Amino acid sequence: MPPSVVPSAREPAPGEPGAPQPPVRLQALVRALSRVAHCGRAFLSAVHHLFFEDGLVVAGYVAFAALFALFPFLIVLLSIAGILGQSEAAQASIELGLELVPPEVAAVLRPVIAEILGGAPRGLLGLGIVVSLWFASSGMEAVRHVLDRAYGCPEPAHFLWARMQSLLLVVLVALAILIAMLALVGLPLAGRIAAWLGEHELFARDLWFWARYGLGLGLLFALTTTLHLVLPTVSLRLREVLPGTLLSVALWAIAAELYSAYLASLPTSYSLTYGSLAGIIVTLLFFYISAAIFILGAQFNGALRDERGKSTTSPACALETATPAPERREA
């Protein structure tokens, strides 16, 4: 009687229990290449959304809302600072912010800010402050709209509830700015020491400028990260928002320098084209570029979440696990 033939067992596929494990170095290489591929696809997806969907249209809305909300926010900031007796800290934060934007934009904003500083309200009980809070929260709502779309968030439960959150966030951001400036109590003294050392050629004159510039970018990064964590209607972890915030702040710093260089290189003054509105146009265009960069960073984060969700079914990522992310709402 012929011997019975035992069918050979199927070899487990990579990633299945019992499958032979590749070398540790190969696993690390596969993970690294997988992350690079994820980032590349996420970045291309974010660029596609910005330029080929309605990203630039939304950027125009965000730019207008941000410029519309800027001066009411400064009024709120100065009002809170006046109550706390920290008007100098508020003025220092405003000056630090003006150093980050192109000089042409700062030249447009500075006279208006000087008028606000000269007539800053001293309390929060007036109707004007309530109106300023409402207008300032409109900028927060525009940013919330961008982040909710990028992260695939459901609609807020109620319009008034979302608006109340934005109103509270305006006050909290103003307080955070004041606290950050108060934490740097030695900044003015350090500036005077740096100036004295520079006059005696013991300190590079530009080093203090770059130190303040780095501090401003650090505060901008902290603010951007906070907006990504607080405004969306879904809970996000810090590691989920860091890639997009780092990308947006880095691109914003580069764009600010390139924008200033572009304005300086124009063969004729832009005032010849726009007349008395030239300063407003230059400022609004810069806000538009900034909004587009913010949208790019948010969409990059959202696309990365999608890539992590897809990685569980990708053969190249069978060696690592990922948590599926909710599907994003494309614009």
Question: What digits encode the pLDDT tens for the residues 8-23?
Answer: 556 665 556 655 555 6
The ranges assigned to domains in the chain are: 34-317
Burial of 322 (0-12, 13-18, 19+ CB in 10 A): middle
pLDDT number for residue 255 = 93
Cα–Cα distance between 217 and 222 in angstroms, integer? 9
Distance (Å, whole) CA 143 – CA 296: 13
Q: What stretches of 257-324 adopt beta strand conformation (E)?
A: none
Predicted local confidence at residue 146, as pLDDT: 92
What's the mean pLDDT in 144-157?
Answer: 84
Instruction: Give tens-digit pLDDT for 74-114.
Output: 888 888 887 777 777 788 888 888 888 888 899 888 888 88
pLDDT per position as a tens digit, 124-149: 445 667 778 888 888 888 998 899 99
Range of lowest pLDDT (64-68, 185-189, 220-224): 185-189
Structure tokens at 184: 């740097």
Residues 6+ apart with CB under 8 A from 18: 12
Contacts of residue 153, Cβ cutoff 8 Å, sequence gap at least 6: 147, 232, 233, 234, 329
Q: What's at 309, amino acid-wise?
A: G
Supply the mean pLDDT for the chain. 77
pLDDT per position as a tens digit, 258-288: 998 888 887 666 777 777 788 888 999 999 9
pLDDT tier, 249 (very low <50, low <70, confident <90, very high otherwise):
very high
Does residue 41 register a pLDDT over 50? yes
Confidence (pLDDT) at 118:
74
Considering only CA atoms, which of 170, 146, 139 is closest in space to residue 294? 146
Whole-prediction pTM? 0.77
